[in-house]
Amino acid sequence: ETGVTQTPRHLVMGMTNKKSLKCEQHLGHNAMYWYKQSAKKPLELMFVYSLEERVENNSVPSRFSPECPNSSHLFLHLHTLQPEDSALYLCASSQDLGQGNTEAFFGQGTRLTVV
Amino acid sequence: AQSVTQPDIHITVSEGASLELRCNYSYGATPYLFWYVQSPGQGLQLLLKYFSGDTLVQGIKGFEAEFKRSQSSFNLRKPSVHWSDAAEYFCAVGSPYSGGGADGLTFGKGTHLIIQP
């Protein structure tokens, strides 16, 4: 148990569907992140939030839309995805951005399959 | 830009044997270094980290890693592996500005560890 919980664990969706991934952390952290993990590729940072403000968007297509309503919750809204978007989506949190001696805690991920 | 190379995609080790997973990084100054482990269907768990000080760091589950500045390496070791160690292992580098926050982490592609009985 890392303190970062992601739901659902598995999701199958059609290309015309709209779905959302949820991430929740009870660690009192101020920064939250979305990562994409595809087969045979390094983890790709998608979005970064600090104190509920988006601070980074790594050229992610608009079919991915993040939302951070408070410092404990992070969502990733999905619509009109492509099969190549199938991957493991990982949420992480850390105490703050730009601080030494902090570390990232990862959730277990949502395995997304786009059909 | 920082980068991480894990030269071994797969490693097979017999149970009870010693293990060394290689990691080389590219960074202009002294980085922050991490090893994460990912079991099948799971997220990433931090094994150990190096920020400063003693270059030999101890982690959880009996793992250790040694930072060698001259070789730009941070290899992970375990003296005797157990079947439960079978997993994917990721080396990551972070800048002192970003610390270990996930915004500043650059990950290697991972090494898949297989344990033979």
Question: Could you give the angle at the alpha carbon of B30 between the alpha carbons of B25 and B33, nearest 5°?
Answer: 55
CB contact under 8 A, A40 and B109: yes
> How far apart (Å, rounded) are the C-alpha atoms in residues B36 and B111?
11
What is the percent of chain B with per-residue pLDDT over 70, rounded to a whole number? Answer: 91
Nearest CA in chain A to B102: A104
Chain B segment 49-108 residues within 8 A of A by beta carbon are 49, 51, 90, 96-108
For residue B85, the SS3 value is helix
User: Average pLDDT of B8-37?
Assistant: 93
pLDDT band at A98 (very low <50, low <70, confident <90, very high): low
Which tokens belong to B26? Answer: 């590219």
For A34-66, the pLDDT digits (tens) are 999 998 788 888 998 988 888 877 789 999 999
For A71-97, the pLDDT digits (tens) are 899 999 999 999 999 999 999 998 877
* CA A108 to centroid of chain Cα atoms: 11
pLDDT confidence of residue A95: 85
Question: Do residues B22 and B7 touch, judged by C-beta distance below 8 A?
Answer: yes
pLDDT confidence of residue B73: 96
Which tokens belong to A7? Answer: 């739901």
End-to-end CA distance of chain B: 41
Residue A2 predicted with pLDDT over 80:
no
User: Average pLDDT of B7-35?
Assistant: 93
pLDDT band at B100 (very low <50, low <70, confident <90, very high): low
Q: Is B37 on the interface with A (CB under 8 A)?
A: no
CB contact under 8 A, B43 and A100: no
Question: Do residues A90 and B44 touch, judged by C-beta distance below 8 A?
Answer: yes
User: Which residues, 6+ apart, have CB-to-CB distance to A19 below 8 Å?
Assistant: A11, A13, A77, A78, A79
Q: How many residues does chain B have?
A: 117
CB contact under 8 A, B98 and A107: no
